Amino acid sequence: MRAVAAGSVGNLVEWYEFGVYGFLATVLADRFFTPAGGGAPEALVRTYAAFALAFFFRPLGAALFGALGDRVGRRPVLIGVIALMTASTALIGMLPTYATAGAAAPWLLTVLRVFQGLSAGGEFGGAVALMTESAPPGRRGLYGAWQSFTVALGLLAGAGVATATVTLLTPAQLDDWGWRLPFLLALPLGLVALWLRVGLEDTPRPGDGLTGGPPDGAGALTRVPDALPGGPPGDAGAVARVVLTAAGRVLGWSAAGYTFLVVLPSYLQVALHADVRQALLATVPADVGFAAAILPAGLLSDRVGRRPVMLTGALLVAALAVPLFHLLQDDGTSAPMKAAATAAAGAVVGLMAGPGPALLAEMFPARVRWTGLGLAYSLSNAVFSGCAGLVITEVVRRTGNPDVPAYYAAAACAASALVLARGAGTERHAPGGPRAEGPGDERREDQRPGDGTCTEREV
């Protein structure tokens, strides 16, 4: 379990910080992106532009740290990643604002966001590889779900700290120095993560495979050679095709997660004119619902398969996003009803986030697992998560249509559902061997040098 703790605590720190940035976006817009005469909506767009930029450096971080992690091992690279992430986050809390540093202030913030993007891109692939490679047979979905669960804990922590900050401090104190506190808090959190990872034993060197999985006929796992489908070992084209398919499978998770869990506070403030405290409190039920669904979804995926569970979540978001936002916009809807609706929205995102890490890990052999799954996740997040706040805020500002976030999440989940349902032929059957008969009848083979990974067999 130390591998689970060491692998997931970095995600908690990462998503705590990303959550804080999103929750305090309106405050940061005023501190860093609003020169004299600037408008609040334009400043918020610039704030989300810096937010999006960090996401576009995530694929670079996934490729850089993934190549190192796949070559030298998980532990040493994960230590470096968490150190970079912690330092970048804490330094945001020490930056001079626009009033002090002028035009240099937003550039300094953007540079630190770039470093955060690089470290975050490396963090996900390494943490998921570590946890899934440490999982006992038949529990990879549950172990991988801990990555997503600590994402939820990070968002909850970010929402809680941001809410406490804006509630306990006066507006003048918040604008003067209070906004710095949530970022500085990342420093002790990062030190705990470093301590856990320094004492961690590394997982087996790349080339060792994963074993075990859910029953055949329901997304089962089997052994495959060390080549990805569509090409021999070392075929960059085959890697690229699997990365793109994997990104398509998780794009709904990326887009809906950010829409409901990170962008929602600023949307409520700008589009529905809620104050910052009300907006933050409104997102807590969504985070709670998200967290509550993740581990059960990961466990369920160990029995029925990854894609059926994720497909259910994607279809539910596509069908319910617009009615949910209409409910939030209705002044006649009671506060408990709105809280229940946002909690349900978070829960259906959790259906995708629970099995997602294991699904990605199972699509790549160990020799490229960190790189491959990190790139797939980072590309999906760069396009559909990092741009969510920027696109939604700008389109709402230009059109005045308050349903834009719902359309965004629903369209992304519909596209993801198509990729999940189709399967896209990225999995490959092991040569020979009987099909498993039912739950618990897992087919396993001895690990052999040069073997790759277990992958999800077509349903």
* Torsional sign, CA 355, 356, 361, 362: positive
Q: What percent of the chain has pLDDT over 90?
A: 22
Q: Look at residues 49, 444, 44 and name the one whose alpha carbon lies nearest to residue 223.
A: 444
pLDDT of residue 12: 83
Is the pLDDT at 379 greater than 90? The verdict is: no
pLDDT of residue 132: 87
Mean pLDDT of all residues in 268-277: 72
Higher-pLDDT residue of 30 and 95 is: 95
CB atoms within 10 A of CB 207: 15
Is the pLDDT at 258 greater than 90? The verdict is: no
Which residue shows structure tokens 């950010």? 258
Q: Look at residues 346, 372, 345 and name the one whose alpha carbon lies nearest to residue 359.
A: 372
pLDDT of residue 310: 96
pLDDT of residue 287: 85
pLDDT of residue 250: 93
pLDDT of residue 220: 33
Is the pLDDT at 438 greater than 80? The verdict is: no
Higher-pLDDT residue of 337 and 239 is: 337
- Sorted by where each starts, the structural domains of the chain and their CATH numbers stand as 2-425+452-456 (1.20.1250.20)
Mean pLDDT of all residues in 277-286: 76
Is the pLDDT at 88 greater than 50? The verdict is: yes
Is the pLDDT at 116 greater than 60? The verdict is: yes
pLDDT digits 0-9 by tens, 120-140:
888 888 888 888 888 888 899
pLDDT of residue 409: 93
Is the pLDDT at 109 greater than 50? The verdict is: yes
pLDDT digits 0-9 by tens, 38-69:
455 666 666 767 766 777 888 888 888 888 88
Residue-averaged pLDDT of the chain: 77
Is the pLDDT at 406 greater than 80? The verdict is: yes
CA of residue 281 relative to chain centroid, distance: 22
Is the pLDDT at 348 greater than 70? The verdict is: yes
* Torsional sign, CA 264, 53, 315, 437: negative
| pTM flag (> 0.85) | no
pLDDT of residue 200: 67
Model confidence at 160, pLDDT cuts 50, 70, 90, reads: confident
- Of 56-70, 155-169, 199-213, 343-357, the range with the lowest mean pLDDT is 199-213
pLDDT of residue 180: 93
CA 245 to each of CA 31, 151, 265, 425: distance values in angstroms, whole numbers, following the listed order: 40, 23, 31, 9
User: Which burial class, exposed, middle or buried, applies to 86 when counting CB atoms under 10 A from its CB (0-12, 13-18, 19+)?
Assistant: buried
Model confidence at 210, pLDDT cuts 50, 70, 90, reads: very low
Which residue shows structure tokens 């002028």? 102
Is the pLDDT at 415 greater than 90? The verdict is: yes
pLDDT of residue 300: 96
Token readout for 127 is: 């943490």
Contacts of 397-402 with CB under 8 Å at 24 or more apart are 397/41, 397/45, 397/270, 402/271, 402/272, 402/325, 402/329
Model confidence at 319, pLDDT cuts 50, 70, 90, reads: very high
CA 446 to each of CA 208, 215, 367: distance values in angstroms, whole numbers, following the listed order: 10, 18, 18
pLDDT digits 0-9 by tens, 230-257:
444 445 677 788 999 999 999 999 899 8
pLDDT of residue 311: 96
pLDDT of residue 216: 33
Is the pLDDT at 82 greater than 60? The verdict is: yes
pLDDT of residue 318: 95
Rounded distance between C-alpha atoms, residue 430 and residue 163, angstroms: 51
- Of 203-207, 260-264, 317-321, the range with the lowest mean pLDDT is 203-207
Element (H, E) at 319: helix 306-329
Rounded distance between C-alpha atoms, residue 319 and residue 341, angstroms: 14
Is the pLDDT at 211 greater than 50? The verdict is: no
Token readout for 156 is: 């909850």
Q: Is 390 helix (H, G, I), strand (E, B) or coil?
A: helix
Residues in the chain: 459
Model confidence at 218, pLDDT cuts 50, 70, 90, reads: very low
Mean pLDDT of all residues in 73-86: 86
Highest mean pLDDT range out of 30-34, 328-332, 422-426?
328-332
Rounded distance between C-alpha atoms, residue 297 and residue 291, angstroms: 10
Higher-pLDDT residue of 158 and 457 is: 158
Whether residue 64 contacts residue 371, with contact meaning beta carbons closer than 8 Å, is answered with no
Is the pLDDT at 94 greater than 60? The verdict is: yes
Element (H, E) at 76: helix 74-92
